[in-house]
Amino acid sequence: MDIAELQAYGYFALTVILVVFLYTYIYHLYTKRKDADGHDYEDYGNIALKDDIGDAPVSPMSDDKEK
Amino acid sequence: MENRPLEYDYTVTKMFMLTTIILGIVGMLIGVVLAFQMAYPELNLVLGEGLAEYTNFSRLRPLHTDAVIFGFTLSGIFSTWYYVGQRVLKVSMAESGFLMFIGKLHFWLYLVGVAAVVVSLFLGITTSKEYAEFEWPIDIAIVVVWVLFGISIFGLIGIRREKSLYISIWYYIATFLGIAMLYLFNNMEIPTILGESAAGESGIGAWYHSVSMYAGTNDAMVQWWYGHNAVAFGFTVPIVAMIYYFLPKESGQAIYSYKLSLLSFWGLMFVYLWAGGHHLLYSTVPDWVQTMGSIFSVILILPSWGSAINMLLTMKGEWQQVAASPLIKFMILASTFYMFSTLEGPIQAIKSVNAIAHFTDWIVGHVHDGTLGWVGFMIMAALFHMAPRVFKREIYSKSLMATQFWIQTLGIVLYFTSMWIAGITQGMMWRAHDEFGNLAYSFIDTVTILHPYYTIRGVGGLLYLVGFLMFSYNIYKTMSARPVEESELQSASPMGA
């Protein structure tokens, strides 16, 4: 097996792995619905709408410190 | 010192808004001149034989492409970054003297870079690599500008109050990383003065001249890996960043599906980088590179349409806003043109279609319905949305904005339809042959036939430029329009009659 053939198999394997990762991620998003912090992903859409400097953040940085 | 409540600081946003408009006018004006030179070649000598060197098509063409890509579009990206970045991270530039300094330095060095590019390209100093014409000293300056942009992005992220990064921020980060990687690798070059020829001569050429580190087929592959992904990370990713912020904000509707935005982001990142090979179909690159370019281009429809459908569905139940607001019209037409050009591109990348389309005006048409319809419309919409907020004044004229919308839409339609007809005509004529395999037409036959379509394209481009001048005037007048209260700025932008 020469280097070109190895590269071809490597490329194919990488593509398959990335496809598996992507579909696993999609499956994860739609079954869990919430991220590790317990926020529903759809809540993050409000970050754009409530973006005045005085508005409360959707997931404040200070959450970490309180825990 | 007076104790004032904290506010977002839009100083750098305003600076880049200015260059967006000025470089937009310059780039589009040159584009219109070029379009008419194609239809009426005597315009190459419009300022006389003596100045023909500076007015001919080949000297002006890189000025057009670089002014609209690295001038208009990049300024629009920077301008919106310094606006959107602060707002969705809920942190003001005024809170960090360091980031404020970096932001201003970013702008002024960018301006120096722009000046160097304009002067050198007018003088005909070029590496001759498409969309990468700048010689090595300018490349180094651009890298510095880009690093400053990166410090701004990650600096603001570092002091944020909002823990989660809004989807637009992901897209801005991808723009930064993508362009950094592409630009560095495609511009690997060696100053000729350091080299030695086979005959033993050294110190060849002017100090600023360089040759690419790649040669032949490798050069072509690196060049189109760069060229196509410049479209990805300059014309797609940052513009998606803009629409994901400005459309929800202007319409008051959250993104239809945040989860869909996340998975289309990763889908786009995964697929786009492999598609560049479609620029080299039927050329002397390995067959598998061509096939891969073709296949990945077709797959690219999925993440592109994932984003575009998400944008359109954001308006679900709120379509009356599209009729009522010219600003939302711009964004909805932009996402429609995004869908259109991300379907057209994959069709052109199919090998059998490409056999007709390659090297024809259909490609030029495709690029322009993406850039004029998607990139141009979205950047103008972003500036229209930002103007009342950064100047604290209502948009000067809603009717001027609506008129501009229709003039420019007509311009784009004339542009791409004429290029469709011209391109397919060209492709069919080039390959037509008689029963013995002799070509049926000579090149000049196609030129004669295409003349009317070139004129129509010129008119289409001119209409778009007229619209852009109306846009510039509207923004200029906005700076002295009626002042508005903070409460008027929640979602829909205030507009004068």
Q: Can you give the pLDDT at residue A64? A: 55
Residue A64 sits at the chain B interface (C-beta within 8 Å): yes
Q: How far is A2 from chain B, CA to nearest CA, in Å?
A: 17
Give the torsion through C-alpha atoms of B45, B50, B56, B58, to 10 deg.
Answer: 160
B244: which DSSP letter?
Answer: H
The sign one gets for the Cα dihedral B264, B156, B332, B294 is: negative
Contact B252 A64 (CB under 8 A): no
CA distance B447 to B422: 10
Q: Can you give the pLDDT at residue B1? A: 52
- Calculate Rg over the CA atoms of chain A: 20
Of B316, B307, B293, B376, give the one whose Cα is nearest residue B339.
B307
Coil, helix or strand for B8? Answer: coil
Of B402, B410, B424, B400, give the one whose Cα is nearest residue B459.
B410
Please say whether the beta carbons of B279 and B293 come within 8 A.
Answer: yes
Q: What are phi and psi of B28, to 5 degrees?
A: -75, -35
Token pair of B35, please? 């379009």
CA distance B358 to B431: 12
Residue A49 sits at the chain B interface (C-beta within 8 Å): yes
Residue B166 sits at the chain A interface (C-beta within 8 Å): yes
Write out chain B residues lying below 8 Å of A46, CB-based.
Answer: 254
Q: Is the pLDDT of residue A38 over 90?
A: no
Residues in Cβ contact with B263 at an 8 Å cutoff, skipping those fewer than 6 apart: A22, A25, A26, A29, B306
Runs of H (alpha helix) within B280-319: 287-299, 301-314
Residue A10 sits at the chain B interface (C-beta within 8 Å): no
Write down the residue that tokens 């279609």 correspond to: B353
Residues in Cβ contact with B78 at an 8 Å cutoff, skipping those fewer than 6 apart: B12, B16, B106, B107, B110, B149
CA distance B132 to B228: 12
Contact A29 B248 (CB under 8 A): no
Q: Can you give the pLDDT at residue B171? A: 97
Q: Give the confidence band of A67 by pLDDT, cuts at 50, 70, 90.
A: very low
Write the ipTM.
0.85
Q: Where are the beta strands (DSSP E) in B452-496?
A: none
The amino acid occupying position B478 is T
Contact B248 A49 (CB under 8 A): yes
Please say whether the beta carbons of B44 and B460 come within 8 A.
Answer: no
Contact A49 B258 (CB under 8 A): no
CA distance B497 to B494: 10
Best of A23, A41, A44 to disrupt the B interface (most B CBs within 10 Å) is A44
B11-23 pLDDT, tens digit per residue, is 999 999 999 999 9
Number of Cβ within 10 Å of residue B485's Cβ equals: 8
pTM over 0.90: yes
Q: What are phi and psi of A60, to 5 degrees?
A: -65, 150
B273: which DSSP letter?
Answer: T
CA distance B10 to A4: 53
Of B183, B165, B280, give the one whose Cα is nearest residue B232.
B183
CA distance B78 to B152: 10
Among the partner-chain residues A47, A49, A53, the one whose CB lies closest to the CB of B7 is: A53
Residue B399 sits at the chain A interface (C-beta within 8 Å): no
Ranges of residues in chain B whose predicted pLDDT is under 50? none
Number of Cβ within 10 Å of residue B259's Cβ equals: 19
Q: What are phi and psi of A52, to 5 degrees?
A: -70, 155
Tell me which chain A residue has its CA closest to the CA of residue B288: A8
A55-64 pLDDT, tens digit per residue, is 999 999 875 5
Residues in Cβ contact with B83 at an 8 Å cutoff, skipping those fewer than 6 apart: B8, B10, B13, B386, B389, B390
Q: Is the pLDDT of residue A66 over 60?
A: no
Please say whether the beta carbons of B322 and B374 come within 8 A.
Answer: no
| Cα A63–chain centre separation | 20
Residue A5 sits at the chain B interface (C-beta within 8 Å): no
Alpha-carbon distance values, B284 to A43, B186, B352 (Å): 51, 19, 17
Q: Can you give the pLDDT at residue B497? A: 79
Q: Can you give the pLDDT at residue B199? A: 87
Q: Which domains does chain B have, with CATH numbers?
A: 11-192+208-480 (1.20.210.10)
CA distance B226 to B224: 5
Please say whether the beta carbons of B48 and B55 come within 8 A.
Answer: no
Write out chain A residues lying below 8 Å of B163, CB-based.
Answer: 37, 57, 59-61, 63-64
Taking CB atoms and an 8 Å cut-off, how many pairs form between chains A and B? 83
Element (H, E) at B190: strand B189-191
Coil, helix or strand for B214? Answer: coil
CA distance B34 to B56: 9
Query: Rounded mean pLDDT of A36-45?
Result: 91
Write out chain B residues lying below 8 Å of A43, CB-based.
Answer: 258
